[in-house]
């Protein structure tokens, strides 16, 4: 079995290996152009190394870290320390100098913040309709955020995460990408 096949199996198995809430499997195992499969994995994001040679890693409990690359890796730096679910595919043969030797590499297509220190989180883009604020989720749903922190109310268009129930002030929040 090739190293890429082992990585794909690991990525597909990671969510099952964690004692967390179930995930949406709609994006898992979708064929991609040029062969191979997309896979989803859930774990904690970390940034290792020293500037300018850093790496973004995803670590699932009980598994070796996986280096994350691609356009989404820049945004993942903003959520270091948070639990995310990533969807991507093995970047066969790619290496990341700041990652530990032998680390497998995944080209990330998309990700979603799912928790902050064990507290469920919602990840979306801030919208406003009249005096009501909403988050537009990646799946297109729009959820009301009546307790959106005042510091975020002028950030319509920003991608943010909110940890905790949406009808109460969040236990934690952060900006993933500034408004467009």
Q: What is the CATH number of the domain that holds 103?
A: 2.40.50.140
Q: Specify whether 110 is located in the same domain as 123.
A: no
Q: Specify whether 110 is located in the same domain as 131.
A: no
First to last CA, the chain: 44
Q: Specify whether 143 is located in the same domain as 72.
A: no
Kindly report the backbone phi and psi dihedral angles of residue 71, in degrees, each rounded to the nearest multiple of 5, phi listed first: -60, -35
pLDDT at 156: 96
Q: Specify whether 77 is located in the same domain as 133.
A: no
Q: Give me the mean pLDDT over the 132-147 stretch.
A: 95
- pTM, entire model: 0.77
Q: Which of 14-28, 34-48, 94-108, 136-150 has the lowest mean pLDDT?
A: 14-28
Q: Specify whether 107 is located in the same domain as 124.
A: no
Q: Specify whether 112 is located in the same domain as 126.
A: no
Kindly report the backbone phi and psi dihedral angles of residue 12, in degrees, each rounded to the nearest multiple of 5, phi listed first: -70, -30
Say what the alpha-carbon torsion angle 7, 3, 64, 38 is, to the nearest 10 degrees.
-20
User: What does the mean pLDDT of the chain come to?
Assistant: 82
Residues 54 and 48 sit within 8 Å (Cβ to Cβ): yes
As a residue count, the chain comes to 180
Q: Specify whether 108 is located in the same domain as 35.
A: yes
pLDDT at 83: 97
Q: Specify whether 14 is located in the same domain as 49.
A: yes
Which domain does 158 fall in, by range? Answer: 119-177
pLDDT at 92: 78
Q: Which of 16-25, 94-103, 124-133, 152-161 has the lowest mean pLDDT?
A: 16-25
The per-residue DSSP string of 142-171 comes to EEE-TT--GGGTT-TT-EEEEES-TTS--S
* CA distances to 88, 95, 126 from 104, in Å: 13, 8, 34
């Amino acid at each position: 079995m090739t190293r890429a096949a082992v990585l794909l199996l690991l990525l597909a198995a990671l969510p099952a290996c964690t004692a967390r809430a179930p995930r949406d499997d709609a994006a898992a195992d979708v064929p991609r152009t040029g062969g191979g499969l997309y896979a989803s994995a859930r774990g904690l994001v970390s940034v290792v190394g020293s500037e300018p040679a850093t790496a973004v890693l995803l670590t699932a409990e009980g598994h070796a870290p996986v280096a994350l690359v691609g356009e989404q890796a820049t945004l993942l730096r903003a959520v270091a320390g948070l639990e995310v679910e990533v969807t991507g595919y093995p970047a066969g043969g790619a290496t990341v100098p700041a990652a530990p030797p032998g680390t497998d590499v995944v080209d990330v297509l998309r990700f979603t913040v799912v928790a902050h220190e064990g507290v469920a989180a919602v990840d979306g883009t801030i919208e406003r309709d009249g005096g009501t604020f909403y988050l537009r989720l990646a799946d297109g749903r729009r959820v009301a955020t009546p307790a959106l922190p005042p510091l975020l109310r002028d950030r319509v268009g920003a991608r943010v995460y909110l940890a905790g129930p949406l009808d109460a002030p969040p236990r934690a929040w952060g900006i993933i990408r500034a408004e467009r």
